[in-house]
Amino acid sequence: MNTQLLPAVPAASSSGRPELSSTKRPARGWFARQYRRRMLRADLLTVIAWASVAAAVALWLADGGATNISSPAALFTAAGIVAGLAGMDLVLLMLLLAARIPFIDRTIGHDRALEFHGKLGKPSLYLLLAHGLLLVIGYGMAEGLDPVSESINLWVQVPDMWLAFVSMALFIAVVVTSLVAVRRRFPYEFWYVVHLLTYAAVATSIPHQFSVGGLFAAGTWQRWYWLAICIYTGSALVYFRILEPVLATARHQLTVARVESVAPGVVNIVMRGRKLDQLAGTGGRFFIWRFLAPGMWWHPHPFSLSAEPVFTGPDSQGTLRVTVRNLGNGSAQLLRLRKGTKVALEGPYGLLSTAARTTNKVVMIGAGIGITPLRALLETTPFAPGEATVLLRGHTEGELYLGSEILDLCQARGVRLFHLTGPRSRTKSPWLPEDAVRNGYSLTSYVPDVADADVYVCGPAAWAANVIADAGKAGAPEEQIHHERFNW
């Protein structure tokens, strides 16, 4: 069969902004403007986040909360209420950061969104703990009871309060199990299921917020505001984490077409589907794949495309491809995927893409299986001949996966390409091969103008950290260095 391969066309944008329609580099300053727009959005997100916390406290102030503090008991009660309001607001922010909202994703990226999500974990737990303790002390003082009796009192006498106590226990369980040390000790799936308890924790905390606190009593505008932000957060989660992936899966109807061996333990999974034009231009971004076969469907795999979609028929039918290395943990099964297996997808997510570009020059540095997302990015991200450099790192030539495809792309687009193989350096720049360092080579030997370039780094975390350190030393500012972790 001889099929005509049609060139990939990036997805049409409905945002109304000028979008790149080809791999031809746009006029000077385009990427700088793109970066400024992105930073403006980032600032907007910062303002929204802080303002929402302030608004939570302002709700209480507007109700005259601060003017009613006339006794130590009232002071404890007031502090408890404020802690609860701020704590719940942080919890909602955490949920929004994890909701994969496209605006957040294309502004700071999935990776950094989850980093902020993690950073808010402890503060919100402390605020919620303080909320419980301060209120039990405050109420207890007002009624002449010790905090323990007051807690029992609240549990028994006040409707919905027992749920709030359950919620507190769940929050503690979630945050404790999410701490990195604990995360390492348990398998990922266990951690993931415990994390799902967050939803139970938030759900059980909501009734008492509306029924016990006088602030959100029926008929107050504060009640409407609080309901609105709770409902918005819930809807965003349901839409972007459940509904959108289901719709995307139904839209593209992906099935496994074939599994090809690339190298020992590394395969290309080629999938057939339709409306693939909507997935074009996503090089570097990742999707979460689920292969709907017995024993596999529940295992989510975060992989980037390793090539642009190839179109073979009407309705943008065609194939797309991911390249997978057997890293255990369920990916061994992928080597034996059957043809015709249905595939569910979520995404694309992340900012390791053209959307992150800030300048005209590009450097891509990949190691091992991390080379493959860069292969797709190299195919589409715009630059003029001579403006891009690719560095591939592996122990052997065989570990430079898709190396020959990358060579072809580099020849076609006028890109400098370096293969860096051999055992790693034990002195400085441990991301480079030992003999390169011994011969006096550093990052700037390969890319003299790295300080003016967007540097995409993809590979194992420790290795990538070393690359990023060297790129920083060579003068590339933080905003030009693009790296994402995929191990979420």
Q: Which residues lie near other proteins (CB under 8 A)?
A: 39, 42-43, 46-47, 49-51, 53-55, 57-68, 70, 73, 139, 141-144, 153-154, 157-161, 208, 211-214, 217-218, 479
CB of 345 to other proteins, least distance (A): 33
Unique residue bearing structure tokens 């496209």: 102
Q: Which neighbouring-strand residues pair with 394?
A: 421
CA distance 107 to 384: 25
Q: How far is CA 310 from CA 57, 154, 250, 381, in A?
A: 53, 63, 19, 17
123 vs 386, beta carbon nearer other proteins:
123
Start-to-end CA distance of the chain, whole Å, equals: 41
Nearest approach, Cβ of residue 161 and other proteins (Å): 7
Residue closer to other proteins by CB (options 12, 54) is 54
Considering the complex, state which of residue 212 and residue 310 has its C-beta at the smaller distance from other proteins. 212
Rounded CA gap, 261 and 284, in Å?
Answer: 22
Q: Which residue number, 140 or 394, has a Cβ lying nearer to other proteins?
A: 140
Q: How far is the CB of 164 from other proteins (least distance, A)?
A: 10
Look at residues 382, 373, 403, 372 and name the one whose alpha carbon lies nearest to residue 454: 382
Q: Which is nearer to other proteins, 43 or 408 (CB)?
A: 43
Smallest gap from residue 8 Cβ to other proteins (A): 33
The dihedral built from the CA positions of residue 211, 212, 217 and 222, taken in this order, carries a sign that is negative
CA distance 152 to 134: 15
Q: Judged by CB, which is closer to other proteins: 63, or 346?
A: 63
CB 405 → other proteins: shortest distance, Å? 37
- Report the nearest approach of other proteins to the CB of residue 473 (Å): 21
Q: Which is nearer to other proteins, 62 or 296 (CB)?
A: 62
Q: Kindly write down the DSSP assignment for every residue of 447-480, as one continuous string.
A: -TTGGGEEEEEES-HHHHHHHHHHHHHTT--GGG
In the complex, least distance from residue 163 CB atom to other proteins, rounded to whole angstroms: 11
Report the relative pairing of strands 301-313 and 317-325 from DSSP bridges.
Answer: antiparallel
55 versus 417: smaller Cβ distance to other proteins: 55
Residue 67 CB, nearest approach to other proteins (Å): 5
Q: Where does residue 370 rank: exposed (0-12), middle (13-18), buried (19+ CB within 10 A)? A: buried
Q: Compute the least distance from the CB of residue 445 to other proteins, in Å.
A: 31
Question: Cα separation of 259 and 120, whole Å?
Answer: 41
What is the Cα–Cα distance from 76 to 139, expressed in whole angstroms?
Answer: 8
Lookup result for tokens 């415990």: 194
Nearer to other proteins among residue 139 and residue 291 (C-beta): 139
69-87 b/e with 16+ CB inside 10 Å = b?
Answer: eeeebeebbbbbbbbbbbb
